[in-house]
Chain A
Amino acid sequence: MSWLMQLFSRHRHYDDLTVSINEHLAERAEELMDGGTSRVEAEQTARREFGNLGLIEQRSREVWQWTTVESLLADVRFALRQLIKSPGFTVTAVATLALGIAVNATMFSMVSAFLLPHLPGRDPQNVVVVSSVNPDASFQADTNPVSPPNYLAWGNGRRIFSAVAAENENLTGSLSGSAQPPEAISYAAVSANYFSVFGVSPQLGRAFVAGEDEQGHDHVLILSHGLWERRFSSDPSIVGRSVRLNREDYVVAGVMPANFRLLGFSPQLWTPLTLTAADGTPSGRKNRYLYMFARLAPGVTLEQARAQINILAQQAQQNFPDTESRWGGSVRTLPDFLTHNFGIGNALALIMTVVGFVLLIACANVAGLLLTRAVGRQKELAVRMSLGASRVRVVRQLVTEGLVIALLGGGVGLFLTYIGIHLVRAGLSFNEGISAVPIRLDTNVLLFAALVSLVSAIVSSVAPALKASRTAINTDLKSESRGGTSGRAHNRLRVVLVGAEIAIALFLLIGSCLLIRGVYILDHQELGFNHDHLLTAGVVLDKARYIDSSKQNQFARSLVTQMQQLPGVKGAALASNLPASGLGRVSIHIKGQQESRSNEQHTAADVVVTSDYFQVVGVSMLSGRAFNDRDDATAPRVVLVNQEFVHKYFQDHDPVGKQIQLDIADAPSAWSEIVGVVGNVKTYSLDPLNEPQVYEFYVQRPVASFSVMLRSTVDPTSLTPALRHVVAQLDSELPLLRVMSMDGVVEAQRNGNPLFSRLLATFAVLALILSAIGIYGLIAYSVGQRTHEIGIRLALGAKPSDISRMILRQGFKVAAVGLATGFTMALPLPKVFDSIFQGLVHFSAPVIYPIVLAVMLMVVFCATLGPARRATRVDATTALRNE
């Protein structure tokens, strides 16, 4: 505690010290005066003998101080005073750094939300996700869900896992009753021990208990916090009450807390998962739909679990070559799996690199400003050093000033970050999964912002401070510096800084343009059908009312007929999946073609459609015929295939009349005849390539979950009420899912792409502006320094145009090195992007390089023009007199 006492008592000591020293001086002076010296001389002598009064007093005081901290505080106070004295400099520097810090912190809020997610439960590091490895997938092949037989077999390795649970994610159901209109919700079916694997328990009620995952006992559900709040108004007595899901009554067992959220998974409620005996049979192996979560047994490492799963996957390959050949198994920790599965890592890494460069440019600008300022303060520094300040002390003072600027910048930057996060969140609401991810100004972001501020303080102030202190030592106090050698040394550093800024800006601009172009091409590619004037909606026929295929067929027929009669509707069709919105893949066999087992199996994307589909959606008929009324449920099965199918499996020979067989999990296998060929439609709107596709006829193979499509002559969304009315008339308890225009569907599939492009463009332009400010500052300053020289030139007969040419030339000389460097650095970028976003699109676009270079040159020209014109207005006589 004594140090605390000292903190309060030391001002008394300071006063004591001053009194003692004053008395000392007075007594000595008097003594000298007694010896006959005059008062003035005596006082001067006394002082001279005493030595450096200020320094001695300071040394004596330092005894009482917590020296480093206190002198740091003094430095900070001094820096603040200095900064307040030159508001123009301060505002520019703080604003520049604030922008740099804000863009970094804002983007890091996404990193924090997506790559460092807050996971619920106990030691999420010990929870693993077991996945199948899809041999045919090019994107995230090792996050494929597993089949029930594999889940049952792999989970039995109790030596490696202490608990295992499965989740059938992404189910859609209808919630009805409770005096509200029926609502389509997404939900998940989970094993009874699902929540205990994560180590979480409901906020209200209880989790599922053993036995509830058996048929007959499975009509219980657990609500998510969001759904409980929204649809049940946070009713605390909800537990035990009955809720109508898919036209059946379920008892609410519990409500999960709001923080139970797995990144990318957003079910609104959970029901028990019931696995039947059929799920365990070999035919169940084709249905890979279960996410498998497991808790590692104590002492078991991730590597051991991986080795074990690999062995089990190999056993499955040997025992079930038909379905398991080439399929593998993979194990990842929960956090690793979620961030990997979310697949945002590459884009975020890229964006973070870009904002990192923007920050570098901002730092370079601030460093330039500090350098200029240091030149103006050379005399002050020289005075301080001659009065006994060591070089370290001066450097520390200057770095402190940089630190204060950076901290102010960080403060303002945090405010901008707060706004930035709101903007980003608004741009990231295109689907449930992503809008469920909370992007916040959390502790991670705060720490990151502080770190970035600190780093930028050091980056921007250390070099100028060292430089300034070195020149200060050498500066003669009397010199009326005209910006001789020392000024030129400062300039050299600034030239390097500005050159680097321009190089980075050009590099970023080229990179961003390449990426934006690539993303644009991907987003706006030809999809193979007309997506305007098309209204779509999803329907899921529940098993309670639509038990068999005839019921489903009947509903489908009435629905299409009634929809076609709506005013403003040109045609209506159903399809198991919307075009360009993803399809399931099936294995196919072609009659008369030999296939060896080891070779890649023939696969095709499979879609079930009604007869008018091709005409309604606008897919071109290339040969053969479409489905018609004669192809009924009892007639021989017929299919249509697309052009890519013909190209890949029939080497472009006409396939009409050929027989193929589709390997569909729960449908009897039968040979189908190809009756027609249609044009290619992208399986997914962002797929760069076309895939072989097979179209089945709804009448011959009805499905319970499908989409409706209405071709309209008016704005498609204006038909929504009419569509809802038609469906409600057929079945009042059946909700419609995602009613939206096809354009809207395609737009939504672009996901973060528009945001990604917008962010890239913003940051590239920011880099451009900052580097333009940098070169402007440099040239303007050097014109100011060269006023005298320009005056001489003018006096000796130089024309103003010569002067402005000279200044412009100086600007371009600085820029040229930077541009050349940036250009060279940008050359390998297309290859880098191609390898990051594998197989998506070719990023190479040589035309971008000269365009961006021309833009950059224009900007350099504009930034230099102002100072150059000012230089021509120098008045020779004033400049020469102005010493």
Chain B
Amino acid sequence: MLPYRLLVMAKDPERRDLFSGALDLMILHSLRLKPMHGYALVKHIKQASDDLLQIEEGSLYPALQRLLKEGLLESKEGISAKGRPTRIYRLTKSGARHLERELTSFEKMFTGITLVLAAAKV
């Protein structure tokens, strides 16, 4: 099965908007586990989702820049697994707080959606 392409290139801005909250959430959550560079992040999400999700690069890098700008992430020089220079992204304190808030509201929403879908089955 092909991985579900989480985000199609930004030809269609509506779709980007719809998923950007989810993308941010996954980026922040993954980086809370450990600081990573861009490619590692893509691989991590792919593996963690059991190959169901693959982040489109066209969305990842703008999203990273946006989170950097909002101060939820910080970047520093680092070395990749293969020994090449790269930038390692790490969650900031305000990023961690933001993640907590978002997780709570996401869980609520998810519960809500599940309930509604369950009701519809009856």
Chain B 72-87, CB within 8 Å of chain A: the 1/0 string?
0001000011101111
- What separation, in Å, do the CA atoms of A28 and B86 have in the docked complex? 14
Using A16-B87, A52-B58 as known contacts, say yes or no to A24 and B38 having CB atoms under 8 A apart.
yes
- Cβ–Cβ contact B61 & A20, under 8 A: yes
- Cβ–Cβ contact A51 & B75, under 8 A: no
| A residues 1-36 in Cβ contact with B at 8 Å | 6, 13, 16-17, 19-21, 23-24, 26-28, 30
- Cβ–Cβ contact A23 & B65, under 8 A: no
B10: min CB distance to chain A, Å: 6
Q: Among the listed A23, A56, A61, which residue makes an inter-chain contact with B86, where contact means beta carbons less than 8 Å apart?
A: A23
Q: Among the listed A6, A49, A57, A64, which residue makes an inter-chain contact with B61, where contact means beta carbons less than 8 Å apart?
A: A57
- What separation, in Å, do the CA atoms of A6 and B62 have in the docked complex? 16
| B residues 64-104 in Cβ contact with A at 8 Å | 64-66, 68-69, 75, 80-82, 84-87
Using A19-B87, A56-B57 as known contacts, say yes or no to A27 and B80 having CB atoms under 8 A apart.
yes
| A residues contacting the other copy or chain, number (CB 8 A) | 26
- What separation, in Å, do the CA atoms of A28 and B80 have in the docked complex? 12
Chain B positions within 8 Å of A78 at CB level: none
B106 within 8 A of A: no
A534: min CB distance to chain B, Å: 84
Q: Among the listed B57, B61, B84, which residue makes an inter-chain contact with A26, where contact means beta carbons less than 8 Å apart?
A: B84
| B residues 45-68 in Cβ contact with A at 8 Å | 56-58, 61-62, 64-66, 68
- Cβ–Cβ contact B9 & A52, under 8 A: yes
- Cβ–Cβ contact A20 & B82, under 8 A: no
B39 within 8 A of A: yes
- Cβ–Cβ contact B58 & A24, under 8 A: no
A139 within 8 A of B: no
- What separation, in Å, do the CA atoms of A56 and B39 have in the docked complex? 15
- What separation, in Å, do the CA atoms of A498 and B60 have in the docked complex? 52
A59 within 8 A of B: yes
- Cβ–Cβ contact A23 & B38, under 8 A: yes
A63 within 8 A of B: yes
A54: min CB distance to chain B, Å: 11
A434: min CB distance to chain B, Å: 62
- Cβ–Cβ contact A13 & B68, under 8 A: yes
Chain B positions within 8 Å of A56 at CB level: 57-58, 61-62
Q: Among the listed A20, A50, A63, which residue makes an inter-chain contact with B66, where contact means beta carbons less than 8 Å apart?
A: A63
- Cβ–Cβ contact B65 & A19, under 8 A: no
Chain A positions within 8 Å of B68 at CB level: 13, 63
- Cβ–Cβ contact B69 & A27, under 8 A: no
- Cβ–Cβ contact A55 & B58, under 8 A: yes
Chain A positions within 8 Å of B56 at CB level: 51
Return the chain B residue nearest A61 by Cβ.
B65
- Cβ–Cβ contact A60 & B82, under 8 A: no
Q: A-B pairs with CB below 8 Å: how many?
A: 72
Chain B positions within 8 Å of A26 at CB level: 82, 84
| B residues 9-63 in Cβ contact with A at 8 Å | 9-10, 37-39, 42, 56-58, 61-62
- What separation, in Å, do the CA atoms of A655 and B7 have in the docked complex? 107
Chain A positions within 8 Å of B9 at CB level: 51-52, 55
- Cβ–Cβ contact A60 & B65, under 8 A: yes
B40: min CB distance to chain A, Å: 8
Chain B positions within 8 Å of A59 at CB level: 10, 58, 61-62
Q: Among the listed B65, B81, B85, which residue makes an inter-chain contact with A13, where contact means beta carbons less than 8 Å apart?
A: B65
- Cβ–Cβ contact B69 & A23, under 8 A: no
Return the chain B residue nearest A15 by Cβ.
B87
Return the chain A residue nearest B68 by Cβ.
A13
- Cβ–Cβ contact A60 & B62, under 8 A: yes
- Cβ–Cβ contact B84 & A23, under 8 A: yes
| B residues contacting the other copy or chain, number (CB 8 A) | 24
- What separation, in Å, do the CA atoms of A51 and B64 have in the docked complex? 17
- Cβ–Cβ contact B39 & A23, under 8 A: yes
- Cβ–Cβ contact B82 & A17, under 8 A: no
Q: Among the listed B57, B62, B66, which residue makes an inter-chain contact with A24, where contact means beta carbons less than 8 Å apart?
A: B57
- What separation, in Å, do the CA atoms of A21 and B41 have in the docked complex? 12
Return the chain B residue nearest A53 by Cβ.
B57
Using A16-B87, A55-B58 as known contacts, say yes or no to A24 and B65 having CB atoms under 8 A apart.
no
B8: min CB distance to chain A, Å: 10
Chain A 299-317, CB within 8 Å of chain B: the 1/0 string?
0000000000000000000
Q: Among the listed A24, A51, A60, A64, which residue makes an inter-chain contact with B39, where contact means beta carbons less than 8 Å apart?
A: A24
Chain A positions within 8 Å of B57 at CB level: 24, 49-51, 56
Chain A positions within 8 Å of B10 at CB level: 59
- What separation, in Å, do the CA atoms of A348 and B98 have in the docked complex? 66
- Cβ–Cβ contact A28 & B69, under 8 A: no
- Cβ–Cβ contact B75 & A28, under 8 A: no
- What separation, in Å, do the CA atoms of A50 and B58 have in the docked complex? 7
Chain B positions within 8 Å of A49 at CB level: 57
Chain B positions within 8 Å of A55 at CB level: 9, 58
Chain A positions within 8 Å of B86 at CB level: 19-20, 23
Chain A 849-870, CB within 8 Å of chain B: the 1/0 string?
0000000000000000000000
- What separation, in Å, do the CA atoms of A49 and B46 have in the docked complex? 15
B84: min CB distance to chain A, Å: 5
Return the chain B residue nearest A56 by Cβ.
B58
- What separation, in Å, do the CA atoms of A26 and B84 have in the docked complex? 9
B79: min CB distance to chain A, Å: 10
Chain B positions within 8 Å of A27 at CB level: 39, 80-82, 84
- What separation, in Å, do the CA atoms of A838 and B9 have in the docked complex? 70
- Cβ–Cβ contact A23 & B61, under 8 A: no
B64: min CB distance to chain A, Å: 7
Using A20-B61, A52-B9, A52-B58 as known contacts, say yes or no to A64 and B85 having CB atoms under 8 A apart.
no
A52: min CB distance to chain B, Å: 7
- Cβ–Cβ contact B37 & A63, under 8 A: no
| A residues 480-512 in Cβ contact with B at 8 Å | none
- Cβ–Cβ contact B69 & A20, under 8 A: no
Chain B positions within 8 Å of A24 at CB level: 37-39, 42, 57
Q: Which of A51, A59, A62 has the most CB of B within 10 A?
A: A59
- What separation, in Å, do the CA atoms of A26 and B85 have in the docked complex? 11
Q: Among the listed B58, B62, B85, which residue makes an inter-chain contact with A23, where contact means beta carbons less than 8 Å apart?
A: B85
Return the chain B residue nearest A21 by Cβ.
B61
Return the chain B residue nearest A18 by Cβ.
B87
Return the chain A residue nearest B76 by Cβ.
A16
- What separation, in Å, do the CA atoms of A35 and B120 have in the docked complex? 47
- What separation, in Å, do the CA atoms of A394 and B32 have in the docked complex? 42
Using A24-B57, A55-B58 as known contacts, say yes or no to A60 and B84 having CB atoms under 8 A apart.
no
Chain B positions within 8 Å of A61 at CB level: 65
Chain A positions within 8 Å of B42 at CB level: 24
- Cβ–Cβ contact A63 & B80, under 8 A: no
Q: Among the listed B38, B58, B65, B87, which residue makes an inter-chain contact with A64, where contact means beta carbons less than 8 Å apart?
A: B65
Chain B positions within 8 Å of A63 at CB level: 62, 65-66, 68-69
Using A51-B9, A52-B58 as known contacts, say yes or no to A23 and B64 having CB atoms under 8 A apart.
no
- Cβ–Cβ contact A6 & B37, under 8 A: no
- Cβ–Cβ contact A64 & B69, under 8 A: yes
B22: min CB distance to chain A, Å: 18
- What separation, in Å, do the CA atoms of A21 and B80 have in the docked complex? 12
Chain B positions within 8 Å of A62 at CB level: 62
Chain A interface (Cβ within 8 Å of chain B)? 6, 13, 16-17, 19-21, 23-24, 26-28, 30, 49-52, 55-57, 59-64
Closest 10 CB pairs of A and B: A23-B86, A63-B65, A24-B39, A60-B61, A27-B39, A59-B62, A60-B65, A60-B62, A20-B38, A20-B87
Query: A19-B85, A64-B65 given. 9 additional CB < 8 A pairs?
Result: A21-B61, A23-B84, A23-B87, A24-B57, A27-B39, A27-B81, A51-B56, A56-B61, A61-B65
Chain B interface (Cβ within 8 Å of chain A)? 9-10, 37-39, 42, 56-58, 61-62, 64-66, 68-69, 75, 80-82, 84-87
| 17 intermolecular pairs with C-beta atoms under 8 Å apart | A6-B69, A13-B68, A16-B75, A16-B87, A17-B65, A19-B86, A20-B37, A20-B38, A23-B85, A26-B82, A51-B58, A56-B58, A56-B62, A59-B58, A59-B62, A63-B62, A64-B65
